[in-house]
Amino acid sequence: MVGGRLLSRVRPPLGATALVGLLCCATWAQIAAPPQAVWTPSSDAPKDLLTGLEAKHHDQFIERAKAGQIDVVFFGSTPAEMWLWPDRGRSVWDQTFGSLNAACFGSGGTRFDSLLWRMQHGELDGYKAKLVVVHAENAFFSGRGIRFFENVRDIDLNNYVSKYAAIIAEIRARQPQARILLFSVFPRSKEGAEPVMLNAALAALGNNETVFFIDMSKRFFRADGSVDDGMWHLGPPDPGVQKPAFKAWAEELQPWLDRFVR
């Protein structure tokens, strides 16, 4: 904590171990004063930080945040954005969250550095959420490049976890009253070992008091152990998270909605 505030500006994240210690401190949220709201349009973002799509979404998101009355908010990359796609998660979203004050701030192209900047410049201000949902990705986000891990040797677990720890710390600073649900990386294939490694590492960020790690990766496999391509489809014509996965995601969310929101 610096000057009563933690990570109120973009800066290199602390090491994973140090941040996990902060996140597990029961009194941290009571000590840190929420940073002042900063409503920064995408036009004022550092050059090349946001993709065109993400910039468009950020401006929409901060307008929604300014309006207030958000009890549940989602952050993540394309899978989170897909909650609002008509052919993917929209009908499940309406059924699950239609009666709640919910907002989806997921955007394709989201990276660690861009998400942290967005959170520090309006997307976590103007409202007091009861639940913040973050979906983890199995990609390396650096600069404007997005590269999915092709080999477990490509993974720097400490670096990966420390970046999510920094994001969680920012949420805790700006939404100290909220509970945080960190959802696991979704597996894309049976052979990929990286989701297992990443999820095991991410689990350390949960303290079961304010931050909860939820691993629903098993739901992407059939009983015989084969990948259920009805949950995540790799090839054309419609790659990515499929509608049944959003139904499963909603089922995983229900106990938390009942516990902290309703």
Question: Residue 218 burial (CB < 10 Å; 0-12/13-18/19+)?
Answer: exposed
Q: What proportion of the chain, given as a percentage, has pLDDT over 70?
A: 77
Q: Which pLDDT score is estimated for 176?
A: 97
User: pLDDT tens digits, residue range 90-110?
Assistant: 999 999 999 999 999 999 989
What is the SS3 string spanning the chain?
A: CECCECCCCCCCCCCHHHHHHHHCCCCHHHHCCCCCCCCCCHHHCCCCCCCHHHHHHHHHHHHHHHHCCCCEEEECCHHHHHHHCCCCCHHHHHHHHCCCCEEECCCCCCCHHHHHHHHHHHHCCCCCCCEEEEECCCEEEECCEEEECCCHHHCCHHHHHHHHHHHHHHHHHHCCCCEEEEECCCCCCCCCCHHHHHHHHHHHHCCCCCEEEECCHHHHECCCCCECCCCEECCCCCCEECHHHHHHHHHHHHHHHHHHCC
Q: Which pLDDT score is estimated for 138?
A: 67
Residue 144 has pLDDT above 50, yes or no: no
Q: Which pLDDT score is estimated for 82?
A: 93
The CA distance from 259 to 66, in Å, is 26
What pTM, to 2 d.p., does this model score?
A: 0.83
User: pLDDT tens digits, residue range 9-54?
Assistant: 333 334 444 444 545 443 344 445 678 888 899 999 999 999 999 9
Q: Which residue has the tokens 């009942």?
A: 258
Q: Are 88 and 82 in contact (CB under 8 A)?
A: yes
Q: Are 257 and 100 in contact (CB under 8 A)?
A: yes
Q: Are 185 and 36 in contact (CB under 8 A)?
A: no
Q: What proportion of the chain, given as a percentage, has pLDDT over 90?
A: 56
Find all residues with CB under 8 Å of 159, minimum gap 6, and list them: none
Q: Are 76 and 111 in contact (CB under 8 A)?
A: no
The CA distance from 126 to 89, in Å, is 26
| Phi, psi angle pair for 114, to nearest 5° | -70, -40
Q: Which pLDDT score is estimated for 239?
A: 77
Lowest-confidence segment of 7-11, 150-154, 253-257 by average pLDDT: 7-11
Q: Which pLDDT score is estimated for 241?
A: 83
Find all residues with CB under 8 Å of 191, minimum gap 6, and list them: none
User: pLDDT tens digits, residue range 162-213?
Assistant: 999 999 999 999 999 999 999 998 876 655 556 778 888 899 999 999 999 9
